Chain A
């Protein structure tokens, strides 16, 4: 079992719709959770971090964490073509700051 799992996609949504990206993780002791966006040919860019159960909103982005289910998600409201990218879920667990990345979900927003 992979430590951090994501559906590779592509996930296609029409412009203006809500995109829902999901991630599961295996280590129950995981402490911190991150979402990165990576455009083709570019480096990963941090867009959201979440540390406690519940929702965290930042503009059009909402991160949701459920530690009991070992599940973290990212919602993108009013999706725009510029949101088309690969979204990487990352989980911090253990000591010394080791972060494990999922393989990413490719999102395509159709105009």
Chain B
């Protein structure tokens, strides 16, 4: 299996621009998770989906963040408008039956 795939791997954008991060989970996994990692706050869960349905989005920082999972093999995390404090590494992870999570390589976002 190819594992969890994320794109882009690096993103540099200017404040105010829209940013879209993409994730393809491992085939057959029914849960998908978006995390953000910074030195200050560690690994934070933003939102997770079960069978394509958002279950808990309490970790989404504010309305500028949105996530979708239109089908079992694709999810997006969008930030609009982006701000410098959004700079972080964003990870997508997937799991089967909610136990062991497997992480993608991450997207390093820099907002200038």
* CB < 8 Å neighbour of B42 from A34, A42, A49, A101: A101
Asked if B106 lies at the interface with its beta carbon under 8 angstroms from chain A, I say yes
Instruction: Known A92-B99, A98-B56; judge A44-B48 contact (CB<8 A).
Output: no
Contacts of B104 in A (CB 8 A): 43
B100 near A34: Cβ-Cβ < 8 Å:
yes
Instruction: Known A100-B45, A101-B42; judge A44-B91 contact (CB<8 A).
Output: yes
Instruction: Known A96-B50, A97-B95; judge A46-B101 contact (CB<8 A).
Output: yes
Which of A42, A88, A99, A100 neighbours the largest number of chain B CB atoms within 10 Å of its CB? A99
Asked if B82 lies at the interface with its beta carbon under 8 angstroms from chain A, I say no
The secondary structure that dominates the B interface is strand
Q: How many residue pairs, one in A and one in B, have C-beta atoms under 8 Å apart?
A: 50
Q: How far is the CA of A69 from the CA of B50 in the complex (A)?
A: 31
Q: How far is the CA of A49 from the CA of B43 in the complex (A)?
A: 18
Q: How many residues of A contact B (CB 8 A)?
A: 20
B105 near A43: Cβ-Cβ < 8 Å:
yes
Contacts of B74 in A (CB 8 A): none
B43 near A97: Cβ-Cβ < 8 Å:
no
Q: How far is the CA of A102 from the CA of B105 in the complex (A)?
A: 20
Which of B48, B98, B106 neighbours the largest number of chain A CB atoms within 10 Å of its CB? B98
B105 near A99: Cβ-Cβ < 8 Å:
no
Contacts of B33 in A (CB 8 A): 99
Q: How far is the CA of A98 from the CA of B33 in the complex (A)?
A: 9
B55 near A96: Cβ-Cβ < 8 Å:
yes
- The proximity string for B residues 14-50 relative to A, scoring 1 for CB distances below 8 Å and 0 otherwise, is 0000000000000000010100000000110100101
Asked if B65 lies at the interface with its beta carbon under 8 angstroms from chain A, I say no
Contacts of B91 in A (CB 8 A): 43-44
Asked if A103 lies at the interface with its beta carbon under 8 angstroms from chain B, I say yes
Q: How far is the CA of A90 from the CA of B56 in the complex (A)?
A: 17
**Segment 32-50 of A: residues with Cβ below 8 Å from B:** 32, 34, 42-46, 49
- Give min CB distance, B40 to chain A, whole Å: 10
Contacts of A45 in B (CB 8 A): 103
- Which A-B residue pairs are the 4 nearest by beta carbons? A97-B98, A43-B103, A103-B42, A101-B43
